[in-house]
Amino acid sequence: MLKEKKVTALLGSTRGSKTVTESIADYLRQNFKNAEINLIQYRAHQIFQNEKEISNLIEDLKDSEVFLIVSPVYVHSLPYPIVYLMERIENLTNKKFWGNKFMAAVIHNGYPKDIQRKSSKEICYNFSKKMGCNWLGAIGFGGSPLIAGKPLEEVGWFTKNMRKSLDEFSKNIINKSKISSKAKKYERKHFPSIPLHILKFIMNILNKKKAKENGINLYAQPY
């Protein structure tokens, strides 16, 4: 009997299931499914304080060829639950465990420039290097709040290049090859840099819309 091919993914969003992180993971899952690879996912914030779930994560990693991080950026870094789990994984495994495995990452946030995502990518790379794992690379996308947890196909034109990049990224993961220049080309085209004053205008509109939905008065002066 052939052994099931698996990719184990650690998702960094600390919100519910309708997040951009989930949207990206769902898109990748379908690509892997088409290649008869099963994507096993764990939500970091749900398991980082649960030793049994951490043990389950280690067991799935043991049977996986690829460890995948999919995460938003929180204050120019990865969310704490992911960083904590990296530290726990380091304590519970060794270089022999990681010697024949591969690692990659998808990082997203609201800002268009990749410099906002650079430190999170570097954390993933440094973890891979420290554990002796084969690093395949990372891609990242800006403007993620515009996706609002919807399936990427439903968002339409805005995720066109993002999906093309993820398609290439998936092929690289499936073939266990370095993230290609083609994947990075579409990554750069996804959300081109826009002037700061326009970005501020857009972000203010989105923040006001979100505040209204949650019954928050941004102009209240209670004191």
CATH code of the domain covering residue 11: 3.40.50.360
d(CA 46, CA 81): 9
d(CA 143, CA 198): 13
93-146 pLDDT, tens digit each: 998 999 999 999 999 998 878 888 999 999 999 999 999 999 999 999 988 888
203 falls within a domain: no
220 falls within a domain: no
Residue 144 token pair? 């993620």
pLDDT band at 222 (very low <50, low <70, confident <90, very high): confident
Q: Could you give the number of structural domains in the chain?
A: 1
99-113 pLDDT, tens digit each: 999 999 999 998 878
Statement: residue 75 has pLDDT above 80: yes
94 falls within a domain: yes
Poorest-pLDDT segment among 20-24, 51-55, 180-184, 211-215: 211-215
61 falls within a domain: yes
84 close to 24: Cβ distance less than 8 angstroms: no
173 close to 66: Cβ distance less than 8 angstroms: yes
70 falls within a domain: yes
187 falls within a domain: yes
113 falls within a domain: yes
Which residues, at least 6 apart from 92, have a Cβ–Cβ distance to it below 8 Å? 54, 58
116 close to 76: Cβ distance less than 8 angstroms: yes
pTM: 0.86
Question: 129 lies in which domain range?
Answer: 6-192
Q: HSE-up of 218 (CA within 13 Å, CB side)?
A: 11
Which residues, at least 6 apart from 71, have a Cβ–Cβ distance to it below 8 Å? 10, 11, 12, 13, 21, 44, 78, 79, 82, 105, 106, 107, 108, 120
153-207 pLDDT, tens digit each: 998 888 999 999 999 999 999 999 999 999 999 998 887 666 667 767 877 887 8
110 falls within a domain: yes
d(CA 60, CA 83): 19
For the chain, what is the HEC assignment? CCCCCEEEEEECCCCCCCCHHHHHHHHHHHHHHHCCCEEEEEEHHHHCCCHHHHHHHHHHHHCCCEEEEEEECECCECCHHHHHHHHHHHHHCCHHHHCCCEEEEEEECCCCCHHHCHHHHHHHHHHHHHHCCEEEEEEEECCHHHCCCCCHHHHHHHHHHHHHHHHHHHHHHHHCCCCCHHHHHHHHHHCCCCCHHHHHHHHHHHHHHHHHHCCCCCCCCCC
